[in-house]
Structure 1
Amino acid sequence: MYWRERAACLHEDPDLFFPIGNTGPTLEQIDEAKAVCRCPVVEQCLDWAIQVGQVEGIWGGMTDSERRAVRRRQARQTKNTVTTAT
């Protein structure tokens, strides 16, 4: 079964996962979306979003800025691995 078919967000309003902004009431929306993301496929969802470079919305329980930080961390680790291997 494809991971998206098992996602808790499948029957939620998609707008929940695409908040506009990151202050005030939007923070509550982000928290609500992240609460839904506590599901059996959260890791697959996050991996997919990072792999394809998804830049908007809540995916795998992370905002776009949180995913960007993960990508930067992964890039640094890859760079350090390549540097130490040579």
Structure 2
Amino acid sequence: MDSWRAAAACQEADPDLFFPVGTGSPALAQAEEAKKVCRRCPVREECLRCAMAGSHPPAGVWGGLTENERRSLRRRLRPGADGRR
């Protein structure tokens, strides 16, 4: 287990909050609630770095970003993504 996890703000929240099901309004509202917890988290950067490091993004909200947001960030950070080589 990563040592930073013990300091994560999500340790005091319902784990289900970070795993919204679906793409409708209830799931979007749930993701926003999870992101509120992330915004006050002292280890948010470490969490996001961990989520971005894997070859397959983990499910749910990690480091304040949803799966789709992390996927989009990964594409923007990919070498050559800005049209330069």
TM-score above 0.5: yes
Counterpart pick for 1:46 among 48, 58, 79: 48
Q: What fraction of aligned residue pairs are identical, expressed as a percent?
A: 50
Residues 26-65 of structure 1 deviation map (CA, whole Å, 9 limit, x = unaligned):
1111111000001111111001001013231000000000
- Structure 2: tracts of 5 or more residues without a match: none
Larger Rg: 1
5 Å matches for 1:1-80? 2-38=3-39, 39-52=41-54, 53-75=56-78, 78-79=79-80
Point out where structure 1 has 5 or more consecutive residues left out of the alignment.
none
Count residues in correspondence: 81
